[in-house]
Structure 1
Amino acid sequence: MEDDGPEAAAEHGTWEFTVAEARALVPQVRERAAEIVRLRADLAELALELRELGASPLGGRAEIKGLEARLDEELTWFTGQGIQVRGIAPLLIDFPAVLDGRPVCLCWLEGDTELAWYHRADLGFAGRRPLP
């Protein structure tokens, strides 16, 4: 396959990040993660108030749909970069990579200030280790 960049590679399921490439995305990841945290909290608060009180100063069903759409937009950015979203509360993402000839995931968890962890692709989060 020609190297057409991350979009083409992700579309074909072949995108692999170097540690440097993944780390270069961390500032954008942190910015988007902050937005996801805000949207997630607003959505939870609004849903709870509507369920318990039947109304909320934050809005109603239309606002829930709007928050869900914004959350989906943020999550779609990750997948569009070839990043795998593993969870949203807390936000957990993996950058597919290869270390020492073995498929791994460079792992970033909400609250991490840098990309410093990885796990074998076949082990998942339980196998998380510090990057060498």
Structure 2
Amino acid sequence: MKKRFTLEEANNLLPLLQPLLGQLLEHQARLATLYRPIQPLLRQAALNVGSADTTQLTVEMMAIEKLSAEIRSYGCLLKDIKVGLIDFLSEQDGREVYLCWRYGELEITHYHLLEEGFSERRLI
């Protein structure tokens, strides 16, 4: 059974989640920077697992997975690691919804239906 959050419970987690998500976004940016220049080489040849570039790629990917798992361990859903989007399962007016928070926002002020996404979010 998935954890359901009240608005207060979800907002109380933000001070714990914000630094984790900040680190995750930093690793994601480094991964993208490392991957772009070597992407054509990776397509043409077998991966040289001993190179410095591929070693750093592995380090960044492992850090991203560790931080993602830690964020998910709180019971929330990491929806988009590129923009830092987290959803918290909740209930409003007798139906399940997601409380929706984006990295940088001071508190949770929006929600959306389960079958909707960020672009359809509404003010609480």
TM-score (norm 2): 0.82
Which residue does 2:83 correspond to in 1? 90
CA RMSD of aligned residues (A): 1.9
Which residue does 2:2 correspond to in 1? 14
What amino acid is the match of 2:36?
A: L
Among residues 92, 99, 104, which one is paired with 1:106 in the alignment? 99
After the TM superposition, which of the residue ranges 42-51 and 15-24 deviates more from structure 2?
Answer: 42-51
1:67 CA drift (Å)? 0.6
Runs of 4+ in 1 over 6 A off after TM superposition: none
Inter-CA distance 48–123: structure 2 relative to 1 (3 Å threshold) = closer
| CA distance in 2 between partners of 1:18 and 1:119 (Å) | 14
| Higher relative contact order, structure no. (Cα contacts within 8 Å, ≥ 6 residues apart) | 2
Deviations along 1:25-60, one digit per CA (max 9) or x if unpaired, are 111221111101110111111112334799xxxx41
After the TM superposition, which of the residue ranges 59-68 and 120-129 deviates more from structure 2?
Answer: 120-129
> What is the DSSP-based 3-state SS (H/G/I as helix, E as strand, rest coil) of the residue aligned with 2:89?
strand
What amino acid is the match of 1:67?
A: E
Which residue does 2:120 correspond to in 1? 127
> What is the DSSP-based 3-state SS (H/G/I as helix, E as strand, rest coil) of the residue aligned with 2:58?
helix
Inter-CA distance 14–44: structure 2 relative to 1 (3 Å threshold) = closer
1:127 CA drift (Å)? 2.6
Inter-CA distance 102–47: structure 2 relative to 1 (3 Å threshold) = same
Which residue does 1:43 correspond to in 2? 31
Q: What are structure 1's unaligned runs of at least 5 residues?
A: 1-12
Which residue does 1:76 correspond to in 2? 69
What amino acid is the match of 2:96?
A: P
| CA distance in 1 between partners of 2:77 and 2:41 (Å) | 37
| CA distance in 2 between partners of 1:83 and 1:30 (Å) | 13
Which residue does 2:49 correspond to in 1? none
| CA distance in 2 between partners of 1:65 and 1:50 (Å) | 13
